[in-house]
Structure 1
Amino acid sequence: MKEKLYSIGEISRLANVSIKALRYYDKIDLFKPAYIDPDTNYRYYRDSQLYHLDLIKSLKYIGTPLEEIRLAQELDSEELLTFLEKQEKQVREKIDFLLNIEQSITNVKKGMQRQLEYPSLGEVYVVEEEEVRIIRMEAEGMEPESLFNASYSKLKMLIESTDGFTNTSYGAMFHFEHYANLKDISYMYLFSPVLSKNQISAVTPDFELTTIPKGKYICIAFHFSPENYLRNLQKLTKYVGDHQFQPISDIFEFFIPIHYSPKKQEEFRVEMRVRVAETGEEPKKN
């Protein structure tokens, strides 16, 4: 029985491969027609060629480059199995990469959602917080008015070297005290919330992986200015004293951009929080 020949249009429909792609595969000697009519230059394909096209389609579907597909065509079964194992590993790496991006986006969204749920700015509030993993570094005696100096940039460089999706929330830690002057405040640490496992694996001896513990926190949020900063810090510490809360942590301070427009003056929102003892909890620093 004579084997049926298919036109390029028919093979395109049968295999769900575009005519443009079939012509390109012919041009680069990846998948050539069985016969070309010398009078019309029409391409024709045999039934038996379809399984060759199946291999091309399958490997292209998982992102294998055409040059590697060409090599795969020449492999025997054992070699092809090894080749597919390598492709499987590459696909797993891509999946892990995308899952890591997804986790980064989820964590950034949580931070942004929190901003939308603040009570009125300048109002002290009490909230139960979940544990937050952070990467921190010593602040080298920084103070609020010198927040964005080279020390902060060092932390930012670590975070950005591990993920394309950049964290826009950073923070600082300083002792809980009743401050009368902005110059009296000295940061002990700068930190950034962990977005992904890539950041964890990149931590060097200059940095420390730790947590902001879960628990009850007294918080306040406000737009940054030197005047607002001291006034709202004093509100926070006064509230803790007036309500006889026992602080059991340093003050954790988060600073977040209010907008991202290069045409506007930079503005930041600051949130301060201090963990306080639950009933019966030991007053111990974290």
Structure 2
Amino acid sequence: MKETLYTIGEMAKLANVSIKALRYYDKIDLFKPAYVDSDTNYRYYKDSQLSQLDLIKSLKYIGTPLEEVKKAREMSPSGLLDFITDQEKLIQMQMDNLMKVQQNIETVKKRMERRLQTPSLREVFLWEEEETTIIEMAAHNLKPNNLTNASYSMLKKAVEPISGFLNTGFGAIFPYEKYIHIEDIYYDKIFAPVLSNQMISSLPADMEAEKIHAGTYVYIADVYHPERYICNYHKLMKFIEDNQMTVTSDVYELFGALSYSPDQQEELIIELKVRVS
């Protein structure tokens, strides 16, 4: 029985693919027409080729590279089953990675939304914080007026492959004590929040993963200015003393860019917070 021949346009409609795709598949020797008229150079396809095209479409649909599709086309049924099983595993890995990306985006959104919801600058308020994973390292003779110290670049280098997304700031930790001047404050640790626990086990020897625990925090934020810094810290202390609260953590300082535009003046927003009960 003689098979029906279809023009490239007819084959495109039958298989629900574009004419451009069929021409490209022909060019790269992935799916060639059964017959090419030497006079008109028209391509013609057979009914039996539809199953070949179905395989190509199916593998392309699940994201298989065309070079891999070429290999799959020549496989035995058992080999093709193994190949598709491997493709399924790859897709699951991609889905897992996308879930992590989605979770990271959600974390960053929460941090940014929290900052936008902050009451007026230089006002003390209470905030319920979720647990945060951080990477920290010892601070060596660093103070609040050393915010752009090169040590933070070392943290950034370590954090970027773990977070993989927008970093919302760096921070420092120092004891909750009565300080008179900003020069009296020395950091114990500097840190960077991370979005996930991925790869934390492979940190450099001078860095470690820790937690900022969930709880109620007394909090104040301001645009960084050395003269206002200690004033804001005193406001924080006064609020705690006036409300007879018990401090249950060190002071966490977090700073980040107020704007990402290169056309605007570079300013940092500073957050000071301490956990209370």
**TM-score, normalization by structure 1:** 0.91
C-alpha distance in 2, partners of 1:267/1:147? 12
Tell me the number of residue pairs that the alignment of Structure 1 and Structure 2 aligns: 277
What CA RMSD, in Å, does the superposition of the two structures yield over aligned residues? 1.6
CA distance in 1, matches of 2:56, 2:186: 63
Shift of residue 202, structure 1, vs aligned partner:
4.2
Alignment of 1:69-80 (within 5 A): 69-80=69-80
Match of 1:273 in 2: 273
Q: Deviations over 1:229-263 (max 9, x none)?
A: 11101111122122221111101111121101122
- Does the CA-based 8 Å contact 1:100-1:197 persist in structure 2? no
Are the equivalent residues in 2 in contact too, given 1:163–1:199 (CA < 8 A)? no
For the 8 Å contact 2:162–2:194, the answer to whether it is kept is: no
Quote how far apart the aligned CAs of 1:194 are.
2.0
Report the equivalent of 2:214.
214
Unaligned 5+ residue runs, structure 1? Answer: 278-286
Q: Residue type matched to 1:69 in 2?
A: V
Q: Give the aligned partner of residue 115 of structure 2.
A: 115
Q: Which moved more, 1:90-99 or 1:4-13?
A: 90-99
User: What is the match of residue 228 of structure 2?
Assistant: 228
The AA in structure 1 aligned to 2:177 is: E
Unpaired segments of 5 or more residues in structure 2?
none
Q: Once superposed, which parts of structure 1, at least 4 consecutive aligned residues long, lie more than 4 Å away?
A: none
State the alpha-carbon separation in 2 of the partners of residues 177 and 82 from structure 1: 64
Separation in structure 2 between the aligned mates of residue 201 and residue 106 of structure 1, nearest angstrom: 23
TM-score, normalised with respect to structure 2:
0.94
Could you tell me how far apart the structure 2 residues matched to 1:129 and 1:33 are? 64
Matched-pair contact (CA < 8 Å) for 2:111–2:168 = no
Cα distance in 2 for residues equivalent to 1:104 and 1:168? 12
- Cα–Cα, structure 1 residues 105 and 76, in superposed 2: closer, same or farther, change >3 Å? same
For 2:43, the equivalent position in structure 1 comes to: 43
CA deviations over 1:31-52 (Å, ceiling 9, x no partner) = 0111122332211111111110
Residue type at the aligned position of 1:180? I
* Percent identity for Structure 1 against Structure 2: 53
Q: Quick one: distance in 2 between partners of 1:7 and 1:235?
A: 81
| Counterpart for residue 280 of structure 1 | none
Superposition pairs of residues 198-213 of structure 1, within 5 angstroms: 198-213=198-213
Tell me what 2:263 maps to.
Answer: 263
Question: What CA distance in whole angstroms lies between the structure 2 residues aligned with 1:49 and 1:163?
Answer: 47
Could you tell me which amino acid in structure 2 is paired with residue 63 of structure 1?
G
Correspondence for 2:90: 90
Q: Relative to structure 1, is the Cα distance of residues 30 and 58 closer, same or farther in structure 2, using a 3 angstrom cutoff?
A: same
